[in-house]
Copies of this chain bind each other. A is one copy, B any other.
Amino acid sequence: MTRLVLVPIANGTEEIEAITIIDVLRRAECEVTVASCHEHTLVTGSRNIQINTDTVITECTEQNWDLIALPGGVTGAENLRESSHLTEILKAQKREHRWIAAICAAPAVVLSHHNLINNAKATCYPTFLSAIPRPEEDPKKTVVYDESEKIITSQGPGTAFEFALELVSLLKGEGTATALAKTMQAHWWPGKR
C-alpha cells in the first residue's frame, strides 16, 4: 500500500530530525516528498547543512497526504509557521482527519499556534511544553500518540530515531518497523503507542 508523506522544511530546520524522518520512512518504502517552505529548493538547516529539497510547498497543495511530519529547530519551526501554503495544507489535513506528526519545537511553534493541536495529549522539546494545551508530563514518554486527534509528537533530536520508527509502525505496521530497526542496528521495540 502506497503511503504518501510530506516533510516540509525551511531555513533553520533541525537537520537530524528532518533527515532521520525522511531516511527511515523511505527505507520503509513510503513515498516521501521533501518540500521547501521558501520559494527556492535549497534550504540551510540549523547547523548550516544545506539540503536541496525535492520541491517547494506551493507544489504540494493538491495531494492527499497520509502523514505530514514537521521537524523542529526553533527558527525552522517559525519559518514553517509563517508559510501560508503549509498552514492551509495542515488545516486541510486536520479537517480530513489524517495524521500530523511534529517533533521538538514544531508541536508548540507550529501546531499550537495555528490551533491544530486541539485537545491532543502531546509532547515536545521541554522548554515549549507550556505552550501545549495538554502536555505529556512523563519525560520518558518520548513519542506520544493521540489517536482521536491524529497527532503524534516527540521531544528532540535524540528521540528522532524512535519517532521515525513509530511513524513507520503507524503507516506500515509494527512488523515492518521492527524489521527495519534491526537492519539499521537500532535498539528499539514497538509498543509505546
Residues of A within 8 A of B (CB): 14-16, 19-20, 22-24, 26-27, 34, 42, 45, 47-53, 125-126, 142, 155-159, 161, 181, 184-188
Task: Give the shortest distance, in Å, between A10 (CB) and chain B (any CB).
Answer: 16
Dominant SS among interface residues on chain A: mixed
The answer to whether B158 and A181 touch across the interface, beta carbons within 8 angstroms, is yes
Q: Which of B14, B27, B52, B126 contacts A47 (CB 8 A)?
A: B27
**Least CB separation from A123: chain B residue:** B185
B contact residues around A53 at 8 Å (CB): 50
- A34–B48 alpha-carbon span in the complex (Å): 10
Task: Give the shortest distance, in Å, between A142 (CB) and chain B (any CB).
Answer: 7
Task: Give the shortest distance, in Å, between A8 (CB) and chain B (any CB).
Answer: 15
B contact residues around A158 at 8 Å (CB): 161, 181, 184-188
B contact residues around A52 at 8 Å (CB): 42, 50-52
The answer to whether A157 and B23 touch across the interface, beta carbons within 8 angstroms, is yes
